Amino acid sequence: MFPYDPTLLAAVQSSPQTISDVVQILEAIASTCTDGDGLKWFNWLYLQVTQAVETRVNTNRFGDSSWIAALDLQFASFYFAAINSSLSGNSTPDAGRPSSPSATSPQLPAFNSRSQE
């Protein structure tokens, strides 16, 4: 739906092995998306959280940092797979779609479908 979708698709093709890999992919998505793309804003939030998790994992601020790192990688894999699936024209899990009518309201453009306006 956006001219840069092939670039996004290429960014999510790799399988991250570390939280740093996840951050790199999130940064690639961030630098590709335009302000009018709701994915940019969800990705921005996801990047902020992932960077905070990475800092805390690297400084052993979790009881089990290796478990948290593995969890972070698993969630990132789900996110990247959903982007890949969507951009490839395949169906995405219901969790990737708005769950209520209010989630598609004009006041929440980041949750609306990815379309150029």
pLDDT reading at 87 higher than 70: yes
**Residue-level pLDDT at 89:** 85
100 vs 79: CA distance, rounded Å? 20
pLDDT reading at 95 higher than 60: no
32 vs 13: CA distance, rounded Å? 15
Which phi and psi angles does 9 have, rounded to 5°? Answer: -60, -45
pLDDT reading at 47 higher than 80: yes
84 vs 10: CA distance, rounded Å? 9
54-61 average pLDDT score: 97
**Residue-level pLDDT at 41:** 94
% of the chain exceeding 90 in pLDDT: 73
**Residue-level pLDDT at 2:** 92
Sign of CA dihedral 114, 97, 111, 30: negative
89-113 average pLDDT score: 53
**Residue-level pLDDT at 116:** 54
